[in-house]
Amino acid sequence: MFNRFSKSRLLPHTYGVKVHKDGYQEWVKNIKIEGGVFESFHNIKLLPLEIQPETAASVSFTGANSIVPDPHDKNILIISSSKKSVSLSMKDNVIINLPAIPTVIKKASTTSQPETPGIISPDTEKEIIISNNEINVTWLRDSGSQPYMKTGQSVLMAKLSSVPKYVAWYQDSNYILYQIQGTFKMSEIDTRDGINTYDLIKTSSPLYYNNKNGFLYTISGKNILKYDLNYER
């Protein structure tokens, strides 16, 4: 269910707008209104102040240092520094102990996501580029809604003190997710009057976000945790 609000007949001015709800992080913008111009912010999300995980399964080892999806994005592999590994079904949380790391996964598990040349959004219209500790978003085609962007246009999402450990697109292609210095964050890509960025989870553990089922997977000790990040507008 989507909630909508509109206000007409405003005089040209810059208006402070805040969307808030008890138990949720606020969305705040200063919106400049000009004569004859309609401004639309249709991707607002209010994110909980605290997200409680569900324990999906447990493993027999500690020291997991990698979470890698299989080529079909149906299972994730939890791999330890001692090369022990298990496979977890993202459909029904069934876990299987593996005798060895599958060959098709070995190369992927040794390459961190931020080193890839670009991360394409689920709607295939945008791309995340990580360079020199900066996260940028580039439009691969003209946008059909506000904020209007042209093909090839880029915006700086974050300038960080170090390379992020993990970067991904949120399922609606209007937010990005990244892990930096023990915090997992979510940022809108609408840069009008700055960017609303939310701290979601405190963790330095490896993680993986599935933009099809909307769950974030991570490790705490021997437990595989999953967080429901399916947020309505």
- CA-CA distance, 59 to 96, in Å (whole number)? 9
Environment class of 18 (CB within 10 Å of its CB; exposed 0-12, middle 13-18, buried 19+): exposed
Residue 40 lies inside a defined structural domain of this protein: no
Which residues in the chain belong to E strands, given as ranges?
13-19, 27-33, 54-58, 64-69, 75-80, 85-89, 95-98, 119-120, 126-131, 134-139, 154-159, 166-169, 175-180, 183-188, 197-202, 207-210, 215-220, 223-228
Residue 119 lies inside a defined structural domain of this protein: yes
Question: In the prediction, which pLDDT does 113 show?
Answer: 44
Residue 61 lies inside a defined structural domain of this protein: yes
Under-50 pLDDT residues of the chain: 1, 105-115
Residue 1 lies inside a defined structural domain of this protein: no
> How many domains does one find in the chain?
1
For residue 53, the SS3 value is coil
Residue 163 lies inside a defined structural domain of this protein: yes
For residue 117, the SS3 value is coil
Question: In the prediction, which pLDDT does 39 show?
Answer: 85
DSSP-derived secondary structure for 92-109? T--EEEESS--HHHHHHH
Residue 87 lies inside a defined structural domain of this protein: yes
List, in order, residues 6 or more apart from 75 with CB less than 8 Å away.
69, 87, 88, 89, 90
Q: How far is CA 86 from CA 57, 61, 63, 93, 110, in A?
A: 11, 10, 13, 12, 16
Residue 5 lies inside a defined structural domain of this protein: no
Residue 24 lies inside a defined structural domain of this protein: no
CA angle 104, 108, 109 (to 5 degrees): 105
Whole-model pTM?
0.88
Q: What is the CATH number of the domain that holds 84?
A: 2.110.10
- CA-CA distance, 184 to 140, in Å (whole number)? 26
- CA-CA distance, 157 to 143, in Å (whole number)? 17
Domain range holding 184? 51-233
